[in-house]
Structure 1
């Protein structure tokens, strides 16, 4: 097992590990595990505590009805089109994996070409979609040969061409059971696919389509999802939850779309929340005012969010009209939070445990999570290694980093995905003998992971996330990204790409007013219309770094 020839000749002191995962990982499918399987870590859920609450109507679905509807839909798909466990259904939003076929979650805002790519890569047999997106879906389906009658509507009644999910459920439950739920062979959950989740790929030194956000279809088996749910539950439950922040009957806001290419919304805010005994309030489409109203209306206790939502929660005046004292848990994933944003969040949610998490689609999903014994996470830390996770930090010279040293994070554990579908070269460079090369630069200290993308100014380390967090507190700034630009004297200087309120495109002295001189934006400030991000909100920083390098190179050439 090797990433480069000298690595595994080094002492095991170079290895970092979370606690042992001393629980059984059952050989089940995800629906069997979520709906039917008792487990030592599963807290008891009362029968009248709903699994799902529909945000717009308040309609609730308890366990018995979810199970009944799941069986009805599975039976209808089996009867009508003979769809089975080996088929793939592409869906823009449904409770994924709960009815048999493998699921390929898709973003409804994809273009026709993007959908064609995903349909072809997944070899999809059916599409489940909101009616709003039918024109694009129909065009993409025609291009890959999926019949119109295999396009199923999530909302609204059936029509002459398309059947609805609701009608399929009714049909399936009115007929004798044709769908037979198969028990897996021993060890089969390790290889049997549950999801094909599309990822932009890890950002290591691969040259593998890093600018194509829809390039990689990650094959995720049932065991990976079950394992990660159990890892998260073991991390914060029982004695490891002294503040009693994870209790059955709590209410979580399902505001992160389950279709997104990032797996955070799919596993953490859906499967983990259900396993923990929460009721998940499902929001079909995010709007900030609606988001605030839902937190009030359903007395939300748990918020799983991404940085753009954190910025809104910290900055917008409408926050003052709401009392969020009932919120007891807030976790931010997908990108680092600065210390400034931590402070602001603590003011908005005075009784909440606040922290971060980190994971990838390729690790399905969480690798670290916030320390459950603390009210607030360590500033700058993504969290502690989860039970069952083992990590190496690989330095540029091929040796393994010690504690406190920086390098690329490489991880293994029971939740790792299998491979990229139809992409052998990318698979070989990312999935190495059960380990995943994340491409992210990190430091591990006291069992906490710090994701770093630091630049050095005259030898001083400067964290872009710190400057970004500070810039975002300026009332005129709606988004930003800080990257390094080369400088002969200082080595590197921070350059900020800033998105301003449209009427306020002017240079601001916000950073120089508050930060030590070597953190000033001496590399300049460029005002742009939008910061490039993947759909989960993670900044595609490499694109702006490349843009900054090209700008610097052009300036040098002009001087010559």
Structure 2
């Protein structure tokens, strides 16, 4: 059975991303992007447009940046993050956003995959950027930093690239906008190592239009203010925070990342009304004693995504903050990212909501047949204007997840109620979601197997209620089983931590005599997950 969105259809925007974002009727002097920690640093709508075009011209003139070239953006959130992000697109190029905490190997992999020509980084990660970027073949003269100071010989982009000339935006036809890649975020997809997601101009413009068809009447840019604590390198923060704020003319107060005190202080001081969050933030809002020290009564609307929010935690958070309505949304980097969201006037505990406008879905059971009965589980397949073009340099992976009819196979198991509200109930894919970030087990297993004391291993996600997230757990078979101990476990976890970004770190270790596998050698993660569940039951029985 094919499910169609119950929301009104949108007319897909037919222009490029920047024409779409900058074409809104917004006062030029309205401050839209504001440093939440230092509000003297901000950008008006007019300044954003001018600086983006100057940056694009600077890329062309200083870096010989041409149509289709890639610029890598490797920085924590900054109030002017949008300038390089959109500046490369203004130069008819592509931006790839990287986690600012990536290790040298992780960053090098992304730079090598995308063949990035220019790298914009931050003083805090410049050392890593230089090692990875030079190894990837980026010229030293094409490195730039945020800020106003030259750091280790690397110039700030504000002075090196923003000159008098402004780039002329290339006018794209509708067909060109649907084909032209604007953004390369990286996702692990349904399995394996991370892949560049080719997100087109139309993917991005359509997703803003799809979301606002649902929420446009609930947001008043002259009154509402949004807080940006989700990472802007991630599709969720990039689209729902940055793109929507610019299109609506909604002031966005940007923090470098999430920290509870600065989050609460910003809401209180600036009377923030709208936030995007993930379940671990909801957990802190519901339970942390510090929250009681702040007046968060202005916060009235939040969208929670990146991982499922339990009905219980959602209720507990809204009980503590009675003016706040939290709604779940569902999506992936491959869906640009929003695909499903709860409507404000009909939220249901535990539901991720309704299909966004212009979207079509199927639910497919284990036999590959379409589910036809209410409440039956199956894998969610999605089709719409926000579905990515494909994976960079990886037609095989693209063909594995986008079928001949254009449906993207999400790897998530869902069911529907009688009103066609979706509920995510399981995951078919092996991916672990730690605090909203993707952790591919195969990548961590590959690192573990380079440790000389390890004979075999497997990594799974185990839900930790205390953190409201899955955590990566490694099951390890040692070459000498008699050496298994808590100290050896800590050494193994450090071995991984030294090579990966924080969210990919192994959080717990279990030593077992043999890793369960099928006859073809595939790890039977189901058996390990069942063992973890039994262990949890045993612990609870002793409490």
For Structure 1 versus Structure 2, the TM-score category normalised by the shorter chain is 0.7 to 0.9
User: 2:426 and 2:151 mapped to 1: Cα distance?
Assistant: 52
Name 1:194's counterpart in structure 2: 182
User: 1:482 and 1:185 mapped to 2: Cα distance?
Assistant: 45
Q: 1:380 aligns with which of 326, 339, 350?
A: 350
| 2:13 alignment partner, SS class | coil
Matched, 1:167 2:159: yes
Matched, 1:81 2:63: yes
Name 2:367's counterpart in structure 1: 397
User: 2:524 and 2:223 mapped to 1: Cα distance?
Assistant: 43
Gaps of 5+ in 1: 1-13, 39-43, 203-207, 239-243, 456-467, 484-528, 555-560
| 1:452 alignment partner, SS class | strand
Q: CA deviation at 1:159?
A: 5.3
Q: CA deviation at 1:21?
A: 5.0
User: 2:400 and 2:181 mapped to 1: Cα distance?
Assistant: 21
Matched, 1:143 2:117: no
Q: Deviations over 1:483-513 (max 9, x none)?
A: 9xxxxxxxxxxxxxxxxxxxxxxxxxxxxxx
User: 1:372 and 1:451 mapped to 2: Cα distance?
Assistant: 19
Contact 2:213 2:357 in 1 (8 A): yes
Name 2:3's counterpart in structure 1: 16
Contact 2:10 2:357 in 1 (8 A): no
Q: Deviations over 1:242-286 (max 9, x none)?
A: xx44544411111101113xx111111211232233111111232
User: 1:336 and 1:283 mapped to 2: Cα distance?
Assistant: 24
Matched, 1:419 2:390: yes
Matched, 1:252 2:239: no
User: 1:330 and 1:478 mapped to 2: Cα distance?
Assistant: 19
Gaps of 5+ in 2: 76-80, 429-460, 473-495, 509-522, 536-543
Name 2:480's counterpart in structure 1: none
Contact 1:49 1:249 in 2 (8 A): no
Distance 1:189 1:163, change over 3 A: same
Segment of structure 1 superposing worse, 86-95 or 356-365? 86-95
Matched, 1:285 2:273: no
User: 1:383 and 1:429 mapped to 2: Cα distance?
Assistant: 27
| 1:437 alignment partner, SS class | strand
| 2:133 alignment partner, SS class | helix
- The correspondence of residues 465-484 of structure 1 with structure 2, limited to 5 A, is 472=465, 477-478=466-467, 481=470
Distance 1:552 1:68, change over 3 A: closer
Matched, 1:231 2:210: yes
Name 1:51's counterpart in structure 2: 32
Q: Deviations over 1:459-492 (max 9, x none)?
A: xxxxxxxxx99974xxxx3456599xxxxxxxxx
| 2:331 alignment partner, SS class | strand
Q: Deviations over 1:121-179 (max 9, x none)?
A: 11100100101111111111121111111111012323573221211354x22xx45x3
Matched, 1:219 2:219: no
The root-mean-square deviation of aligned C-alpha atoms, in Å, is 3.2
Q: 1:97 aligns with which of 54, 73, 86?
A: 86
Q: 1:34 aligns with which of 21, 41, 59?
A: 21
Matched, 1:181 2:181: no
User: 2:391 and 2:97 mapped to 1: Cα distance?
Assistant: 15
Name 1:366's counterpart in structure 2: 338
Q: CA deviation at 1:17?
A: 1.2
User: 1:536 and 1:45 mapped to 2: Cα distance?
Assistant: 41
Name 1:495's counterpart in structure 2: none
Name 1:448's counterpart in structure 2: 421
Provide TM-score, normalisation by structure 2: 0.76
